[in-house]
Amino acid sequence: MDHFLYRDGALHAEDVPLSEIAASVGTPFYVYSTATLERHFKLLDDALEGTEHLVCYAMKAASNQAILKTLAALGAGMDVVSGGEYARAKAAGVPGERIVFSGIGKTREEVHQALTGGIRQFNVESEPEMQVISEIATALNVIAPITIRVNPDVDAKTHAKIATGKSENKFGIPISRAREVYDLAASLPGLKVIGIDVHIGSQLIDLAPFEAAYNKVAELTEQLRTDGHEISRLDLGGGLGIPYARSNEAPPSPTDYGALIKKCVGHLGCEIEIEPGRLIAGNAGLLVSQVIYVKSGEDREFLIIDGAMNDLIRPAMYDAHHDIVPVVESEVGVLPIPYDIVGPVCESGDTFAKGRHMPPLKAGDLVAFRSAGAYGAVMASEYNTRPLIPEVLVKGDQFAVIRPRPTFDEMINRDTIPEWL
Is 270 known to be catalytic?
A: no
Candidate residues 43, 61, 68, 150; the one interacting with ligand LLP per rule CB under 6 A: 61
64 vs 57: CA distance, rounded Å: 13
Report if residue 63 touches ligand LLP, rule: CB under 6 A: no
With a CB cutoff of 8 Å and minimum separation 6, the contacts of 133 are 106, 111, 115, 122, 124, 144, 146, 190, 191
Phi and psi (nearest 5°) for 391?
-115, 140
Question: Does the footprint of ligand LLP cover residue 205 (CB under 6 A)?
Answer: no
Q: Whole-angstrom Cα distance, residue 225 to residue 231?
A: 7
Longest distance between any two alpha carbons in the chain, whole Å: 72
**Region from 6-14, 236-244, 297-305, 337-345 binding ligand LLP, contact rule CB under 6 A:** 236-244
Considering the rule CB under 6 A, would residue 157 count as an interface residue with ligand LLP?
Answer: no
Q: Is 203 in the site for ligand LLP (CB under 6 A)?
A: yes
Give the binding range for ligand LLP (CB under 6 A) out of 47-55, 231-239, 301-309, 401-409: 231-239
Which of 2, 38, 45, 79 forms a contact with ligand LLP (CB under 6 A)? 79
Alpha-carbon distances of 350 from 141, 291, 322, 341, 381, rounded to whole Å:
51, 15, 14, 9, 13
**Residues paired with residue 4 on neighbouring β-strands, in sequence order:** 13
* Binder of ligand LLP out of 318, 321, 401, 403 (CB under 6 A): 318
The residue among 96, 140, 138 whose CA lies nearest residue 119 is: 96
From the CB of 407, what's the least distance to ligand LLP, in Å?
28
Q: Which of 27, 36, 70, 102 binds ligand LLP (CB under 6 A)?
A: 102
Pick from 237, 254, 285, 315: which binds ligand LLP (CB under 6 A)? 237
> Min. distance of Cβ 298 from ligand LLP in angstroms?
33
Angle at which helices 127-140 and 178-187 pack, to 10 degrees?
20
The pattern of x and - marking residues 361 through 390 that bind ligand LLP according to CB under 6 A reads -------------xx---------------
Q: How many CA atoms within 13 Å lie on the side-chain side of 158?
A: 27
Element (H, E) at 71: helix 65-72
The residue count for binding ligand LLP (CB under 6 A) is 20
CA–CA distance, 390 with 123 (Å, rounded to integer): 33
| Count of C-beta atoms within a 10 Å radius of residue 309 | 24
Closer to ligand LLP by CB, 220 or 372: give it.
372
Cα end-to-end distance, the chain, whole Å: 56
Interface with ligand LLP, residue 165, by CB under 6 A = no
Q: Within 114-143, which residues bind ligand LLP (CB under 6 A)?
A: none
Question: In this structure, what are the phi and psi dihedrals at residue 213, rounded to the nearest 5 degrees?
Answer: -65, -45
Q: How far is CA 329 from CA 7, 145, 157, in A?
A: 9, 53, 35
**In this complex, which beta carbon is closest to ligand LLP, that of residue 122 or of residue 399?**
122
The residue from 275, 311, 350, 391 that contacts ligand LLP (CB under 6 A) is: 275
Instruction: Single out the residue of 27, 70, 82, 202 in contact with ligand LLP (rule: CB under 6 A).
Output: 202
The nearest distance, CB 100 to ligand LLP, in angstroms, is 9
Contact 211, 204 (CB under 8 A): no
Site string for ligand LLP, 326-355 (x = CB under 6 A): ------------------------------
Positions in the binding site for ligand LLP (CB under 6 A)? 58, 61, 79, 102, 162, 199, 202-203, 237-239, 275-279, 314, 318, 374-375
Q: Which residues are catalytic?
A: 346
